[in-house]
Amino acid sequence: MDKNYYDEKIRKIPDFPKQGILFYDITTLFEDSQAFQSCINDLYEYFKFEKIDKVVGIDARGFLLASTLAYKLNAGVSVVRKKGKLPFKTMSASYEKEYGPDTIEMHADSIKPGEKVIIIDDLLATGGTMLGTVDLIKQSGGEIVGIGCVIALTFLPGLKKLEDLGYKVNYLISYDNENTRNDAIKIGIIGGSGLDDPKLLDAYEEMEVETPYGKPSSPLTLGKIHGVDVVFLSRHGKNHSIMPTQVPFRANIWALQEQGCTHIIATTACGSLREYVKPGDFIFPDQFIDNTKQRALTFFEDNVVHMPMSKPFCENLRNVFMASAKKLGLSFNEKGTIITIEGPRFSTKAESSMFRMWGADMINMSTVPEVILARELGICYQAIAMATDYDSWKENEDPVTWDMVLKRMAQNSENVKKLILDIIPKIKHTDCDCRKSAI
């Protein structure tokens, strides 16, 4: 499994066990049967070609990992415990760790001279516990052939200390900083309207990428907004040269997922199908109707997957959007049903009236299948829809034209930017139903 998968399963608890410490709680990973199996299988891949006699587990979460891994490796288990917990003759090693000094012990006869040993723990931080365990194994005469853990905090010195001593450390996920506010957040922004303006970003770069579904619509623009990692993608290309049906939706969503995006903000122009949704208003849809005809709607081509879709948009994101829009004094509708048509033509008057009878509140050409594909990958997705016109249904109003859409988009572009800049630092949730319902 990739880093994002494990990151979602690990709970982060600030100021535990004391102020200033961010605790990485791996019990949430253990409680998920699939995640725990993946964890053991991935660790097994690192050591399966070695002849292992003993797997040494470190008190206490390391016991669970070591015992399960030892079973797969056909090896025995030795335990390293805190001082005073073992009943027989022991060897001891003292060390400093991030919480203060400590001592660990191992039974003196736990490892026989010459036995090949791997050390397993849940997390590598300053390296004190692991270095103390290395000392115990040396005292016993064992040969350390590998070290493994689930988490490595690479901004702390433990990894480098072990590597400087010549040990190879295998880990499933690493963190290179300790940002308790948004360490697991990366936001993809899909749209246009100047939203990929590099001036909005700190330390930006452009990246060309390839996916199993071809190239995305545009190069990715990577950078930071208010310290949060963001990735911009232009849905219709930098010059709006890709017609709606030909947008490589699967490549776009896959590319953002590959970059580690946990959330997607998608801007879209739409026609209003309701009197109360006025041109210039923002709408944060909560439902969609699919009226497309020619698009690939899923990543699952080789097996049948019935994807839950009763709540397709992210409620957590929509709440953030509404709070920001209210703060900024923007005119908005907190929810609504958006219908996506194939395009590129606009609706006939008869179609526009029919969509209203279906219960749609707005119409566009882009939300489907973006929202579906994001859910399949477990990415929180919410659209910011900007009403530009009344489509074709409203009497005494000019029917929609492309010039009308462009004019209204230009008028509203600064409000879109203000809204997104205000939203970004407020997106903090990583535990979400969007991820739980993903396949």
In this structure, is the dihedral angle defined by the CA atoms of residues 262, 267, 271 and 277, taken in order, positive or negative? positive
Q: Which residue has the tokens 């709606």?
A: 244
In this structure, is the dihedral angle defined by the CA atoms of residues 432, 285, 231 and 38, taken in order, positive or negative? positive
Q: How many CB atoms lie within 10 A of CB 37?
A: 11
Distance CA 146, CA 143 (A): 9
Q: Which residues pair with 106 in a beta bridge?
A: 91
Cα-based distances in Å from 76 to 47, 72, 89, 106, 425: 14, 10, 19, 15, 48
391 is catalytic: yes
CA triple 54-7-75, angle to 5 deg = 10
Which one is catalytic: 53, 286, 361, 391?
A: 391
Distance CA 208, CA 135 (A): 47
> Cα 128 from chain centroid?
31
> Which amino acid is located at 204 in the chain?
Y
Q: How many residues does the chain have?
A: 439
Q: Which residue has the tokens 């010195």?
A: 157
Which one is catalytic: 176, 389, 398, 422?
A: 389
Q: Which residue has the tokens 């992210």?
A: 314
> How would you classify residue 127: left for phi > 0, otherwise alpha for psi between -120 and 50, otherwise beta?
left
What residues have CB less than 8 Å from 377, skipping those under 6 apart?
A: 253, 254, 257, 299, 438
Q: Which residue has the tokens 């900007």?
A: 386
Give catalytic residue positions.
389, 391
